[in-house]
């Protein structure tokens, strides 16, 4: 191991045996040991890890795309490097591969061979293979009817590619409307979807701020809204795509701090961490975000979940994008290895396995009561002086922020009510689409409206305080 890696590990407090796993050669001559799926959610820590295989950077529809042509960096070579890095950091991990429409259709030799290789990973490791409609933003550019057609035909192509009657347990979609989630459950028999990107606003091609960050059954009114009753419930577990730093997530888009672009999506995703900030700072942030869930979050919720999507193009995206010559894979191996060292009981399973396990434990949203506490990591926009507390249930989500060092009282920065009627945007029309599919009402953490100013919780009206008191009497 070179001196630079040793220095980084020392600063992160990581012992050599954990990272030494990354230098072991992979034994390809036998079936690797796989992570077992526990019998229930409660009492366990979970990690889900996904990737995206595509042709263009953002494929907004079957025949339209935004951004760069990435076909030159999608081949078996990149897939092999990526999967080997995962196996080095977490032997026995099962991950989820999603293919875009164009990637499934592409018959160039590199894509044909890439698909065969990924199918071999399904057979060898138990990886899940599924479909990605609309490049994370299907509803921003396509009618709900068109998205349903894409889901049906895309899933058929995945089944044909894998063979043997294969059917995925989940779909990766970025954002997906309530109608399309209903279609997945009722017509396609798929009951798990990565269908929201928690807190995303003013990032990429779509906004979807307003949901809760852990699993829930969505309402027929809005994909960000937890169902309020059985008549309103869509039987498709809605999952976040990236676990983010709760403090960074408070602002929209990104902001410059000391000349560095600090993105609101900073957490365990690679672009905002190990690629943009380098291995040392990036892995520090990824581990701090992970610890917020696996330590205090586990204590508060009696289970914990961290999730990340790492586009396969990032293996060689430095050839196309300005990524300072980094692909982040050193940081990925360090992060995975250290997760296994600190929380050795954690299960790394596929999105479908995790979502179906949650679904077997919870039949509706009535008992959801997620709580989180996080202090800033000191990395980029994660202010080390600040502490945020989140409370999430089927009726509302609520966040309190304070400076824990100066002892100033907490202030309410988010109160999103789910007991109010919600409505998604209409389908896009030719030449016109709506990028903002957020659910924002009483008070929002992003501070994008004049009324979104932090307030003492006592300033809420009597009805609002009574709603909060029903769940958390200690807050009022």
CATH homologous superfamily for the domain 42-361: Uncharacterised protein PF12979, DUF3863 (3.20.20.510)
**Residue 110, token pair as written in the block:** 């590199």
**CA–CA dist 360, 383 (Å, integer):** 38
**Would you give the end-to-end CA distance of the chain in angstroms?**
54
Q: Global pTM?
A: 0.93
Region 329-355: what's the mean pLDDT?
A: 98
Q: Look at residue 29 in the predicted model and tell me its pLDDT.
A: 37
Region 103-115: what's the mean pLDDT?
A: 98
Backbone dihedral region for residue 43 (phi beyond 0: left; psi -120 to 50: alpha; all else: beta): left
Kindly report the CA angle at 21 between 20 and 22, in degrees rounded to 5?
Answer: 85
Q: For 390-402, how does the pLDDT look when each residue is reduced to its tens digit (9 = 90+)?
A: 999 999 999 999 9
DSSP assignments along 291-302, one per residue: HIIIIIIHHHHS
pLDDT at residue 433 greater than cutoff 60: yes
Q: CATH number of the domain at 370-422+436-475, please?
A: 3.30.1120.110
pLDDT at residue 11 greater than cutoff 70: no
**Residue 73, token pair as written in the block:** 């960096």
**CA–CA dist 104, 87 (Å, integer):** 25
- Yes or no: say if 359 and 237 are a contact pair by the CB < 8 Å rule: yes
**CA–CA dist 31, 79 (Å, integer):** 19
Q: For 48-91, how does the pLDDT look when each residue is reduced to its tens digit (9 = 90+)?
A: 999 999 999 999 999 999 999 999 999 999 999 999 999 999 99
Long-range pairs of 155-159 with CB within 8 A, sequence gap ≥ 24: 155/130, 155/131, 155/188, 155/190, 157/99, 157/104, 157/105, 157/131, 158/99, 158/104, 158/129, 158/130, 158/131
Q: For 350-376, how does the pLDDT look when each residue is reduced to its tens digit (9 = 90+)?
A: 999 999 999 999 999 999 999 999 999
- The sign of the CA dihedral 212, 218, 222, 225 is negative
Q: What is the DSSP letter of 321?
A: S
Phi, psi of 75 (to 5 degrees): -150, 170
Q: For 156-192, how does the pLDDT look when each residue is reduced to its tens digit (9 = 90+)?
A: 999 999 999 999 999 999 999 999 999 999 999 999 9
For the chain, give every domain's residue range: 42-361, 370-422+436-475
Region 450-473: what's the mean pLDDT?
A: 98
pLDDT at residue 5 greater than cutoff 70: no
Q: Are strands 396-403 and 386-392 parallel, antiparallel or unpaired?
A: antiparallel
**CA–CA dist 440, 422 (Å, integer):** 9
* Per-residue CA distances from 108 to 71, 103, 260, 387 (Å): 10, 10, 39, 51
For 313, residues 6+ apart whose C-beta sits below 8 A from its C-beta are 52, 54, 57, 70, 73, 74, 78, 320
For residue 318, give the 3-state DSSP assignment: helix
- Yes or no: say if 327 and 275 are a contact pair by the CB < 8 Å rule: yes
Confidence of residue 26 (pLDDT cuts 50, 70, 90): very low
- The sign of the CA dihedral 75, 77, 78, 84 is positive
pLDDT at residue 25 greater than cutoff 50: no
**CA–CA dist 111, 128 (Å, integer):** 18
The yes-or-no answer to whether 42-361 and 370-422+436-475 have a common fold is no
* Per-residue CA distances from 448 to 117, 207, 238, 252, 416 (Å): 45, 13, 25, 8, 14
């Amino acid at each position: 191991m070179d001196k630079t890696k040793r220095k980084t590990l020392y600063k992160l407090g990581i012992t050599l045996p954990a990272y030494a796993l990354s230098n072991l050669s992979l034994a390809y001559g036998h079936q690797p040991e796989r992570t077992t799926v526990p019998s229930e959610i409660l009492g366990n820590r979970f990690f889900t890890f996904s990737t995206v295989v595509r042709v263009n950077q953002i494929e907004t529809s079957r025949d339209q795309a935004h951004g760069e042509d990435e076909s030159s960096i999608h081949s078996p070579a990149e897939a092999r490097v990526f999967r080997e890095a995962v196996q080095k950091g977490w032997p026995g991990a099962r991950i989820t591969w999603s293919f875009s429409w164009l990637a499934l259709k592409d018959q160039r030799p590199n894509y044909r061979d890439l698909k065969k290789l990924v199918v071999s990973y399904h057979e060898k490791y138990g990886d899940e293979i599924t479909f990605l409609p609309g490049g994370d933003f299907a509803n921003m550019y396509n009618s709900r009817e068109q998205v349903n057609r894409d889901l049906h035909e895309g899933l058929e192509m995945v089944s044909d590619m894998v063979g043997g009657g294969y059917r995925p347990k989940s779909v990766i979609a970025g954002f997906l409307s309530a109608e399309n989630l209903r279609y997945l459950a009722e017509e396609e028999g798929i009951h798990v979807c990565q269908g929201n990107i928690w807190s995303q606003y003013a990032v990429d091609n779509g906004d979807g701020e307003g949901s809760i960050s852990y699993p829930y059954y969505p309402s027929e009114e809005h994909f960000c809204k937890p169902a309020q009753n059985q008549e309103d419930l869509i039987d498709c577990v809605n999952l976040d795509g990236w676990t983010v730093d709760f403090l960074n997530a408070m602002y929209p888009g990104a902001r410059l701090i000391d000349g560095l672009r600090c993105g609101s999506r900073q957490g365990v995703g690679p672009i905002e961490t190990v690629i943009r900030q380098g291995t040392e700072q990036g892995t520090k942030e990824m581990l701090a975000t992970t610890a917020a869930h696996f330590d205090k979050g586990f204590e508060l919720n009696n289970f914990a979940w961290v999730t990340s999507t790492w586009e396969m193009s990032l293996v060689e995206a430095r050839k196309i994008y300005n990524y300072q010559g980094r692909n982040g894979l050193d940081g990925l191996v360090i992060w995975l290895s250290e997760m296994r060292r600190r929380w050795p009981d954690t299960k790394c399973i596929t999105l479908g396995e995790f979502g179906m396990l949650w679904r077997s434990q919870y039949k509706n949203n009535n008992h959801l009561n997620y709580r989180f506490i996080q202090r800033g990591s000191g990395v980029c926009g994660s202010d080390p002086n600040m502490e945020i507390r989140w409370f999430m249930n089927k009726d509302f989500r609520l966040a309190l922020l304070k400076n824990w060092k100066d002892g100033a009282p907490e202030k309410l920065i988010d109160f999103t009510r789910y007991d109010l009627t919600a409505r998604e945007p209409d389908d896009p029309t030719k030449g016109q689409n709506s990028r903002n599919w957020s659910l924002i009402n009483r008070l929002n953490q992003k501070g994008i409206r004049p009324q979104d100013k932090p307030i003492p919780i006592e300033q809420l009206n009597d009805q609002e305080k009574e709603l909060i008191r029903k769940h958390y009497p200690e807050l009022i």
